[in-house]
Amino acid sequence: MIPKLCDRATALWASYDRRWRSHRQRSFSLLLTISLTTLLVRPSLAQTPLIPSPSTAPLELDLLTKPKNYVITANTINPERLTVPSLWWAQQNSEGKLLDNWIAYPASEKEPARVDLLVNQQIWSLLDSIQRYEFVNRLGSAARNFGYNVRVFNYQKEPLATYTCNFSTSPASCSIQTNLKNKIGLQRSL
């Protein structure tokens, strides 16, 4: 009888082992499917607010000397009320030498409101990436409070950074892009 008991225990164990391996393979397959789905499938639009791409409109430097009625520059002063966006405080208090001027465009049918900041290239080039990020974030936050996106340029019309927001979310979702040119002239985004 002893051999029969051993045979039966061995058979039970083998049956259990097959079921356990089958269950383990299904669990592994399910885990692998969930993992790959999580990595490969984009989150739904309800989960991730889309931030629009920065404006591709050209920088219009001639508006600094010949402003049109719809733009605001650092030289525009409204004697009756606060001129929006108001970046004078930021320029005078912390950015006086770096921020030279700006051109603010109101929203249009084609584009949201934006401010093109003009920086002193010599000072900009002395800043490290964190200092540039802080500058863009500080002025971008100030412009965001007025409903404006920000682009940063030098006087050679080279784009240096952007601060772009999706104003349809509350609070607004924003993204900062800072372009750096390395020593061989290639650009990378931070």
List pLDDT tens digits, range 15-74. 666 665 665 666 656 555 565 555 555 554 455 558 888 989 999 898 888 877 777 777
Residue 172 has a pLDDT of 86
Residue 140 to residues 12, 78, 120, 150, 165: CA-CA distances in angstroms?
Answer: 70, 22, 17, 6, 9
Residue 189 to residues 23, 37, 47, 160, 162: CA-CA distances in angstroms?
Answer: 47, 28, 25, 10, 11
List pLDDT tens digits, range 80-112. 444 555 665 565 555 558 888 888 888 888 889
How far is residue 162's CA from residue 136's CA, in Å, rounded to a whole number? 7
Strand 149-153 and strand 159-166: the pairing is antiparallel
pLDDT at 151 over 90: yes
Residue 115 has a pLDDT of 92
